[in-house]
Structure 1
Amino acid sequence: MVLGLSLATFTLVHVGISLIGIVSGIVVLYRMVAFRPIVGWNELFLVTTILTSVTGFLFPFHGFGPAHILGVLSLLVLAIALYALYPRHLSGAWRPLYAAAAALALYFNVFVAVAQAFGKIPALTALAPTQSEPPFVIAQVAVLVLLAAGGFLAQRRFARA
């Protein structure tokens, strides 16, 4: 039981929150690149991405592993994004910093989603049972390249808005 929910139900809630965070993060990234307002979308993205990291720490675990390190890094990046957005109001250098932090937080979320997909979806697990095989590496490199490019464009274009 986690927060009064069975582990299976808690996992579904965690995954649902994560997927909302990923989709809203993609919308935020796109809107920054396209010079469109992010109001509303960025709040949804930040809240769900923070909840994703926080709920990730609530799963039963033994020891402190790579997933926990990534969760801590994600929360640190999200703290920068929150600070840039709210107390600093995206003024000056805080605007491109927010774009970079949002893109990095989205990358962390998608990175974990790809790893989980390869670990839980039988067809993907068959392709990369140890997550060191080429299909897994290609998927993770593709995610990195796409989100790094999107983050770079967002950081540059959103900064000029």
Structure 2
Amino acid sequence: MSSYIYLLTLVHTAISLVALVLGWPVISGFLHGRVSTWTFWFLVTAIACSVTGFLFPITVITPGIVFGIIALVTLAIALYARRAHYAGHLRWIYVATMVLNVYLLLVVTIVQSFQKIPFLNALAPTGAEPPVLIAQVIGLVAFLVLGVFSVIKFKGEFGGGVMPTPA
């Protein structure tokens, strides 16, 4: 592995893990009807994660590339909704796109964990075995529930030290 790829892998992985961790207080904020103070940093790291993913050599379209495209499109929609102060239907669209992006980070983490962590890889060497599917289904169900409750609870009010969107 070249030093460029090695360094890029370390940076990309670190950014993605930070984005995933920051996604939890964002969702928690939604469940409490507000914008988390961590939202800005989640957006920065989630965008950086997707962008750095495209710096790897691309020879074929992989699920990771598709996830990166979906993430960037939905993050752009979230940024638009945020700039519009969650007006009307943009409130639920904002919440849905943010929750979807945390979910995408989780799915990639699950898949990568089964590929890279030896004891998980022993359970699912090809990535198509039941343990991977079970982990993904649990994640999907959990995020569907979190998404629905987040949409219901989020009021779309700026507060709690959140950096306001420029006018």
Normalising by structure 2, we get a TM-score of 0.87
Q: Are 1:74 and 2:71 counterparts?
A: yes
Instruction: Kindly indicate whether structure 1 or structure 2 has the higher relative contact order, using CA contacts under 8 Å at least 6 residues apart.
Output: 2
C-alpha root-mean-square deviation of aligned residues, in Å?
Answer: 1.8
Question: Which residue number in structure 2 is paired with residue 151 of structure 1?
Answer: 147
Question: Which residue number in structure 2 is paired with residue 100 of structure 1?
Answer: 96
CA distance in 2 between counterparts of 1:24 and 1:41 reads 6
Question: Which residue number in structure 1 is paired with residue 162 of structure 2?
Answer: none
Question: Which residue number in structure 1 is paired with residue 13 of structure 2?
Answer: 15
CA distance in 2 between counterparts of 1:65 and 1:32 reads 32
Q: Are 1:109 and 2:109 counterparts?
A: no
Report the AA paired with residue 46 of structure 1. L
* 1:9 Cα deviation after fit: 1.9
What is the SS of the residue equivalent to 2:154?
A: helix
Instruction: Check whether the contact 2:34–2:154 (CA below 8 A) recurs between aligned residues.
Output: no
CA distance in 2 between counterparts of 1:159 and 1:98 reads 11
Identity among equivalent pairs (%): 42
CA distance in 2 between counterparts of 1:50 and 1:159 reads 24
* 1:64 Cα deviation after fit: 2.0
CA distance in 2 between counterparts of 1:65 and 1:6 reads 20
- String of CA shifts for 1:36-64, please: whole Å, max 9, x gaps: 442x3111111111111111111123122
Question: Which residue number in structure 2 is paired with residue 33 of structure 1?
Answer: 31
Question: Which residue number in structure 1 is paired with residue 82 of structure 2?
Answer: 85
Aligned residues: 157
* 1:159 Cα deviation after fit: 4.2
Question: Which residue number in structure 1 is paired with residue 135 of structure 2?
Answer: 139
- String of CA shifts for 1:96-134, please: whole Å, max 9, x gaps: 111011001111111111111111111111101111111
Label 1:24 to 1:160 Cα distance change in 2 as closer, same or farther (>3 A): closer
Label 1:160 to 1:53 Cα distance change in 2 as closer, same or farther (>3 A): closer
Give the unaligned 5+ runs of structure 1.
Answer: none
**Deviating 4+ runs (over 6 angstroms):** none
Instruction: Check whether the contact 1:96–1:159 (CA below 8 A) recurs between aligned residues.
Output: no
